Structure 1
Amino acid sequence: MPGAVVLSGFGPPEVLRWAEVSLPEPADGQIRIKVKAAGVGPTDLAIRGGHLKAFPLGPDTVLGFEAAGTVDAVGPGVEGTAVGDEVAALLFGLGGYAQYALASIWTRKPAAVSWVDAAALPSSAEAAAGVLRQLDVKRGETLLLFGGGGSVGVIATQLAVAQGVKVLSAVGARDDALAARLGATPVRYGPGLLDEVRRSGDVQAVFDAAGKGVLADAVSLAGGPERVITLSDPAAADFGVMLSHPSPDRAPGALDEAMTMLAEGRLTMRERMTMPMAQAAQAHRLLESGEVHKRIILTL
């Protein structure tokens, strides 16, 4: 039987364990992917810890919003994709930490893009494009981006700058140069953040891609919660802020566009490192500890 990293309960990284699972069968409009690599994101960590009630999960849930691999089976109604095709997929139903995953949204992986890069792209690209769309940021406006050095933040910065938006990127010292290189104005996390942002001018929208307790400041700077969105802060409802999560209509077409940009060398991504998929618990532990500042990709 195939294997997967399953969630045995909510709690510390140790609740993730490798187990045998049934081979999933693709339904209408789905493909089954033999996974080569899967991305680990901050939302995965928040779900595992039981902090996001928007994701009520049953026993033996398999985490992972994104994966890359070879098409292994094609469900009814799928056209233009065949067994053997190399793809990257956005997994709205989770399931990436596995040998086989089902997907309803995917894009072809160009030969110029590695498996690791392909697996690192879908969730970050969809989240970046989707939240910018939900915030309705316009040319000439100023966007404050928390987590500007993260995988979503790096892509969001590039997309917003390309739209003529001024980006204030909240980062740590190590990411100052990266934020500036991507076209943003870096602002430093810490007690002086509010004053530094206010000196830079009015903020019309705030994108919290970090989910680390910044919503009070975000709402204050934006003049209210209406144009503040977070990806993973469990306190969102307490501040009247939208908690945005993947959906088929949040950013249709984002994955196709981002993959083309990546293949053509027009998209920068956060630095990546790989770990064997069976070590998913250790990957979560490293990310939570702050010991690594790279995007972790699980490989098979």
Structure 2
Amino acid sequence: MSNAVVLTDFGAPEVLRWQQVALPEPGPGQIRLKVAAAGVGPTDLAIRSGHLRAFGAAPGGVLGFEAAGTVDMVGPGVTGVSAGDEVAAQLLSLGGYAESAIADIWTVKPAGVSWEDAAALPASAEAAVRVLDEVQLESGQTLVLYGGGGSVGIIATQLAIARGARVLSVVRGHDEQLVRELGAEPVILSATVRADAAVDAAGTGVLPHALAAVGDPRRVVTLADPRAAEFGVRLSGPRPDAAPAALAETMQMLASGRLQLRAHRTLPLREAAEAHRQLEAGIREKLILIP
């Protein structure tokens, strides 16, 4: 047996409860981690509340898309990693809010990368790489990014600028200096902007603005707005085929100092409900759960 924060129902943070659960077993192509740190993100909140049900989470399950830890078991067919290796992982079937978790996609954690940074990277980095590919962003083009001060937005900004793009970042006042330091141009939501592509990393009803800015729904992507189909745009989800390369690339950038992550703070794993409350209250840091 093991312990985890279980989603007992959809609703307020109180539905997240510390419980004893069966120790998960890795299937073909999977590994099991002894979790050292797990990331908490806005999508977790949307799933917990019942607002977003696109990722298969259900009462009785465990939230968490990203974790870092030590491998303690490998499933059939797994090569290149063994028990005792330290990795950062993306959890396609969720489960990061736990002492042990099953991972589908992972990369080795370099010794110079902290557990907290390793846990903060996987889901955000994979999403940032993915959405830039989906909107077909190229050098010389302009991207308008909603939620540029968030975990995905910070990484997407740096990757877009590295591609040679101009980034217009729609952020609140307290994030203006941050996005400037990353090389983007802060703009306000009500501003009239024109861009070649748009990424909604906020999920807060900005799709009409994004469409007005770009004019082509094929070049607009949202990460968390379930109304995407109403606007004819893509609700982006993890791509297992491309995720390993995205995670490996961004981990090396992080280890070499070429990638900056959102500032973070830690909470004990059993206080995941409190982490959700703090995010809903507007905390600016990334939250990391520590078993």
TM bin, normalised by shorter chain, reads over 0.9
Matched residue, 2:90: 90
Which one-letter code corresponds to 1:243 in the other structure? L
Matched residue, 2:21: 21
CA contact (8 A) 2:107 2:244 kept: no
Q: By how many angstroms is 1:53 displaced?
A: 3.0
State whether structure 2 residue 225 is matched by structure 1 residue 233.
yes
Deviations 1:60-107 (A, max 9, x none): 110000000000111111112111111100001101000000112101
State whether structure 2 residue 165 is matched by structure 1 residue 165.
yes
Q: Where does structure 1 lack aligned partners over 5 or more consecutive residues?
A: none
Paired residues in the alignment total 291
What CA distance in whole angstroms lies between the structure 1 residues aligned with 2:70 and 2:237? 26
State whether structure 2 residue 208 is matched by structure 1 residue 216.
yes
Q: By how many angstroms is 1:249 displaced?
A: 2.7
What CA distance in whole angstroms lies between the structure 2 residues aligned with 1:272 and 1:259? 17
State whether structure 2 residue 211 is matched by structure 1 residue 249.
no
What CA distance in whole angstroms lies between the structure 1 residues aligned with 2:56 and 2:277? 22
Q: Secondary structure of 1:61's partner?
A: coil
Matched residue, 1:38: 38
Structure 1's 250 and 209: CA in aligned 2 closer, same or farther, altered over 3 A?
farther
Matched residue, 2:287: 296
**TM-score, with normalisation over the residues of structure 2?**
0.97
CA contact (8 A) 2:130 2:239 kept: no
What CA distance in whole angstroms lies between the structure 2 residues aligned with 1:188 and 1:253? 34
What CA distance in whole angstroms lies between the structure 1 residues aligned with 2:77 and 2:53? 33
Which one-letter code corresponds to 1:155 in the other structure? I
Q: By how many angstroms is 1:188 displaced?
A: 2.2
Deviations 1:43-69 (A, max 9, x none): 111111111132343331100000000
Larger deviation: 245-254 or 137-146? Answer: 245-254
CA contact (8 A) 2:106 2:244 kept: no
Larger deviation: 97-106 or 48-57? Answer: 48-57
Structure 1's 37 and 45: CA in aligned 2 closer, same or farther, altered over 3 A?
same
What CA distance in whole angstroms lies between the structure 1 residues aligned with 2:131 and 2:66? 17
What CA distance in whole angstroms lies between the structure 2 residues aligned with 1:259 and 1:226? 29
CA contact (8 A) 2:155 2:259 kept: yes
Deviations 1:150-187 (A, max 9, x none): 00000000000000111101111111111111111111
Q: By how many angstroms is 1:250 displaced?
A: 4.7
Larger deviation: 60-69 or 219-228? Answer: 219-228
Could you list the structure 1 runs, at least 4 aligned residues long, displaced by more than 2 angstroms after superposition: 55-59, 249-252
State whether structure 2 residue 262 is matched by structure 1 residue 279.
no
CA contact (8 A) 1:92 1:247 kept: no
State the superposition RMSD in angstroms. Answer: 1.1
CA contact (8 A) 1:34 1:71 kept: yes
What CA distance in whole angstroms lies between the structure 1 residues aligned with 2:224 and 2:134? 15
What CA distance in whole angstroms lies between the structure 2 residues aligned with 1:250 and 1:117? 21
Structure 1's 251 and 23: CA in aligned 2 closer, same or farther, altered over 3 A?
closer
Which one-letter code corresponds to 1:255 in the other structure? L
Structure 1's 254 and 166: CA in aligned 2 closer, same or farther, altered over 3 A?
same
Q: By how many angstroms is 1:238 displaced?
A: 1.7
CA contact (8 A) 1:133 1:251 kept: no
Deviations 1:128-167 (A, max 9, x none): 0011011111111110000001000000000000001111
Which one-letter code corresponds to 1:279 in the other structure? E
Which one-letter code corresponds to 1:228 in the other structure? V
Matched residue, 2:156: 156
CA contact (8 A) 1:89 1:107 kept: yes
**TM-score, with normalisation over the residues of structure 1?**
0.94
Matched residue, 2:128: 128
Which one-letter code corresponds to 2:22 in the other structure? S
What CA distance in whole angstroms lies between the structure 2 residues aligned with 1:169 and 1:217? 13
Which one-letter code corresponds to 1:185 in the other structure? E
